[in-house]
C-alpha cells in the first residue's frame, strides 16, 4: 500500500471506530468518509462493503490491545495490568458497538470473533499471571472474570463521564492482593449468654 493510501486507510479506520462507538448502527459510510476527510470513492476502494469496514475496525482494535500488552512489559506487573485495563475500558465500548453490528452479518462463532477472543485472552492472561506471580493480584481470579467486569462497566451510560473510571478504580482496588493481617483473625467465640 502506498504511503498516501495507508494514511487514508488509517484515517478511515479511526473515523469508523469513533462513528460506530458514538452512533452504532446509525453511523453511515458517507458520514465516516466525511469524518476521515476523504471521498466515498476512497472509502469503497478500501472497504467494498460495510461488513469489510466493521471487520477491519474490530480486528484493528484487538490488535492494538494485544500490542499494548506487549508495550507495557517494562512497567511493574501491577502498573502494567492497571494501564492495560484502563485501555480495555474504552476498547470494550468500541468492541460492543462494532461486534453488535457485525453479528448482523456473521455468526458469533465466525473466525474473526474466534481468533480475536483467543488473542485478547492470551494478552490478558499474560498480564494477569504476571501480576499474580508478583503477589500483587488476587490469586483467585482470571482474566475471563476481570474482562467481564470491565466490559460490564464499559456498557453503562453514566451521566458523569468520570464515573466509569471511578468504577474501574473500585474494581481494581478489589483485585489487588492484600495479605491477611493479624487483626483479621477471628475473635474467640463466646456463648450467647456471654459466659465462657
Same domain, 171 and 113: yes
Decide if 189 is inside a domain: no
- The pLDDT, as a whole number, for residue 182 is 52
Same domain, 5 and 62: no
Q: Please provide the size of the chain in residues.
A: 196
Sign of CA dihedral 32, 36, 37, 42: negative
Same domain, 67 and 99: yes
Work out the mean pLDDT of the chain and round it to a whole number.
Answer: 87
Q: How many domains does the chain have?
A: 2
Q: Which residue from 73, 36, 70 is spatially nearest to 53, judged by alpha carbons?
A: 36
**Chain Cα centroid distance, residue 133:** 23
Same domain, 43 and 139: no
pLDDT bin (cut points 50, 70, 90) of residue 159 is confident
Instruction: Work out the average pLDDT over 17-43.
Output: 89
* CA 9/CA 79 separation, integer angstroms: 33
pTM above 0.85, yes or no: no
Cell of 83: 494501564
- The pLDDT, as a whole number, for residue 184 is 54
Q: Which residue has the higher pLDDT, 94 or 147?
A: 147
- The pLDDT, as a whole number, for residue 108 is 86
CATH number where 37 lies? 1.10.10.60
Decide if 120 is inside a domain: yes
Decide if 194 is inside a domain: no
3-state secondary structure of 137: strand
Range of 23's domain?
1-48
Same domain, 40 and 128: no
Decide if 133 is inside a domain: yes
Amino acid at each position: 500500500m502506498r504511503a498516501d493510501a495507508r494514511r487514508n486507510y488509517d484515517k478511515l479506520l479511526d473515523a469508523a471506530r469513533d462513528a460506530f462507538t458514538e452512533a452504532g448502527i446509525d453511523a453511515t459510510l458517507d458520514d465516516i468518509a466525511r469524518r476521515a476527510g476523504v471521498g466515498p470513492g476512497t472509502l469503497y476502494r478500501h472497504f467494498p462493503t460495510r461488513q469489510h469496514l466493521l471487520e477491519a475496525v474490530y480486528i484493528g482494535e484487538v490488535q492494538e490491545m494485544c500490542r499494548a500488552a506487549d508495550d507495557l512489559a517494562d512497567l511493574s506487573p501491577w502498573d502494567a495490568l492497571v494501564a492495560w485495563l484502563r485501555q480495555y475500558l474504552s476498547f470494550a465500548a468500541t468492541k460492543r458497538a462494532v461486534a453488535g453490528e457485525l453479528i448482523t452479518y456473521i455468526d458469533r462463532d465466525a473466525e474473526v470473533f474466534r481468533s480475536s477472543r483467543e488473542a485478547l485472552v492470551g494478552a490478558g492472561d499474560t498480564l494477569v499471571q504476571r501480576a499474580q506471580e508478583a503477589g500483587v493480584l488476587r490469586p483467585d481470579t482470571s482474566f475471563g472474570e476481570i474482562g467481564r467486569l470491565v466490559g460490564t462497566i464499559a456498557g453503562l451510560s453514566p451521566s458523569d463521564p468520570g464515573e466509569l473510571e471511578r468504577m474501574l478504580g473500585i474494581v481494581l482496588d478489589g483485585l489487588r492482593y492484600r495479605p491477611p493481617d493479624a487483626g483479621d483473625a477471628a475473635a474467640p467465640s463466646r456463648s450467647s449468654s456471654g459466659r465462657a
